[in-house]
Amino acid sequence: MAFEIPALPYAQDALVPHISAGTLGFHHGKHHNAYVVNLNNLVADTPLAEKTLEDVIREVAGDASKAGIFNNAAQVWNHTFYWNSMKPGGGGRPTGAVADAINGAFGSYDKFAEEFKAAGMTQFGSGWAWLVAEDGAIKIVKTPNAETPITTGAVPLITCDVWEHAYYLDFQNRRPDYIQTFLDDLINWDFANANLAGV
C-alpha cells in the first residue's frame, strides 16, 4: 500500500489572517507532499511498505542505516498532527480535561503558555514544540528536525511546527510572534482533549 498525504482538515484559506493560504499551499502541498513521495520511494518493495506509518517510525527509529526512512515517515506523521493541532477560530485558554491537566502541571494556563512559547523559541534550528502526556502527567517537550515523541512512548496532545517553512512567508524571522499567534488564535484544544481522552 502506498502512503498518502491526508487532506487538510479545513480549507487552505481557513486560517487567514494568521496563516496565509500561500503558506498552507507550500507547506502542505509541497513540503508535506514531498515527504510522502520520498517515503513511498524509500519503502517500495520492502516489508515496511505494508506497515502503518506509526509502525514504520517506531521500527526504524535509532537505526542510522534507515535515517532517510525515519526522517520522511516522521515528518509525514508530525505534519498531519500539526494540521489537526490548529483550527479556524482556535486559540485562547483550554477547557475540559486538558485545562485541568494544564493547571495541575503548570499552575496556570499563563505559565503553560510561557513555557510552551519558550520551548518553541529555544529549539535551535528546525523542530517542534509539543504538549504530551507521559507516565500519568503532561509536560512540554521539544524535538529537533523530524524527531517525534511517539518513539519514546509519550502521547502527543498538540504540536507547533517551528521549521522556518511553517511561518517564514507570513512572519519572516519573527518565530516568537508566530508561536504567540499559534497560542492566541490557532491552537485546537478540542483535538488536545480528544488525544488526552485516549490516554
**Considering the chain, what is the average pLDDT of its residues?**
96
Provide the pLDDT for residue 123: 95
186 pLDDT more than 90: yes
75: containing domain = 21-84
- Please check whether residues 73 and 113 belong to one and the same domain: no
62-99 pLDDT, tens digit each: 999 999 999 999 999 999 999 999 999 999 999 999 99
Residue with cell 535509532: 62
- Confirm whether 16 is domain-assigned: no
Q: Give the mean model confidence (pLDDT) for residues 145-165.
A: 96
- Confirm whether 176 is domain-assigned: yes
- Confirm whether 13 is domain-assigned: no
171 pLDDT more than 80: yes
- Confirm whether 89 is domain-assigned: no
Neighbours of 68 (CB within 10 A): 13
Task: Report how far residue 120's alpha carbon sits from residue 127's, in angstroms, rounded to the nearest whole number.
Answer: 8
Task: Report how far residue 38's alpha carbon sits from residue 127's, in angstroms, rounded to the nearest whole number.
Answer: 19
C-alpha cell of 32? 508535506
Residue that finishes a domain, picked among 44, 62, 84 = 84
Provide the pLDDT for residue 115: 98
- Confirm whether 3 is domain-assigned: no
Residue that finishes a domain, picked among 84, 118, 135 = 84
Which letter does DSSP use for residue 154 in this model?
-
Total number of domains in the chain: 2
Q: Give the mean model confidence (pLDDT) for residues 45-65.
A: 95
pTM to 2 decimal places: 0.96
Provide the pLDDT for residue 1: 62
* CATH code of residue 34: 1.10.287.990
| Residues whose CB falls within 8 Å of the CB of residue 15, separated by 6 or more in sequence, listed in order | 24, 86, 88, 186
Provide the pLDDT for residue 199: 84
